[in-house]
Amino acid sequence: MPPVIGWGILQAGSYGLSGRSPVHCAASGFAVDHRFMRGASISGQRWTAADLPDLSGSTVVITGASSGIGASAARQLAGVGARVVLAVRDVSRGTRVASTISGQTEVRLLNLASLASVRAFASAWSGPIDILINNAGVMYLPNERTEDGFEVHMGTNHLGHFALTNLLLPHITRRVVTITSNLASGGRINLQDLSWDRRPYKSSQAYADSKQANILFTLQLQRQLSVAASGISAVSAHPGVAHTNLMGHLAGLRGSMARAVVRVISQDADRGALPTCYAATQEIPGGSLVCPDGYRHFRGYPKLAPAPRAAQDPQMAAELWRLSAQLTGTDFPSV
């Protein structure tokens, strides 16, 4: 078995093994808006899309919504009345997906591997955004660079969303949801070599680092929102192992074995989108992590879990934020 597959199975689902209370992943100062957040409690129930609240009049922006978890989340949220903006790299593909969704949708160009594209998207925006879902991501790519020279996983999965969130934050009224992975616990972020300029490159580690960065970003964002006494909350979610096209580019034996393993332990994209939809709409503390409730969090219904220990380090979160702000030229605005 190729090392990347074995590593993924060993690392997946390690959230929550310490038995800590979910309060350990929440920042203080979060206030629930009961006018907006309604639906079934997660306690003692199997929460499904049927429990989503009415989102009529709300605007939701979802990055990477032209396939997989993003497309499923768009379909579910539009189905309960939200205006859903599919922020996608391929507008033609996004338009085809939008045509299959019942409800109000809009497709806009966004390439998270380009800070110019991120800035263009944000500068063109007007009006409120109730929920921003940072969903887009790349996985197990070769050692490539973004348009701005960043390592492709960190640049797309973290830095692009970091910049987008900060630029859109003056428009956001309710919540920021950032999608991570059950491989985030294997992250070993090197702030002195974030783009792998001085280390032998390993795509699986680069992906895990970027997903750990997503959680660190969420927790630091929530800390800053709390200090600012903002009514916005920041949370994260991961889909477990979902059968999507995220690894469709992997070729040869490695790709075949990866897809075979995923087929055995995964759930479909609609089920995989449930943690995203729960995190976006339910009464949970800022800083929370939502993941599937099944074995090793591979699959199942949404539940709260503590973040991996390394992603709970406030100093690391603050240092990553400072570096990300320097690299992207964006920072936390007055909200």
Measured distance CA(318)–CA(30) in Å, rounded: 19
Measured distance CA(199)–CA(203) in Å, rounded: 12
Identify the residue whose tokens are 């078995």: 1
Measured distance CA(228)–CA(25) in Å, rounded: 19
Identify the residue whose tokens are 């993003």: 70
Q: Out of 15, 140, 201, 207, pick the active-site residue.
A: 207
Backbone dihedral angles phi then psi of residue 193, each to the nearest 5 degrees: -150, 55
Say if CB 180 and CB 215 are below 8 A apart. Answer: yes
Measured distance CA(12)–CA(9) in Å, rounded: 5
* Beta-sheet pairing, 289-292 with 302-305: antiparallel
Say if CB 234 and CB 179 are below 8 A apart. Answer: no
Question: For residue 112, which of 81, 142, 133, 83 has the smallest C-alpha distance?
Answer: 133
Measured distance CA(165)–CA(237) in Å, rounded: 16
Measured distance CA(65)–CA(73) in Å, rounded: 8
| R_g (Cα) of the chain, nearest Å | 18
3-state class of 319 per DSSP? helix
Reply yes or no on whether 207 is catalytic.
Answer: yes
Task: Supply angle C-alpha 71, 53, 124, rounded to 5.
Answer: 50
Active-site amino acid positions: 207
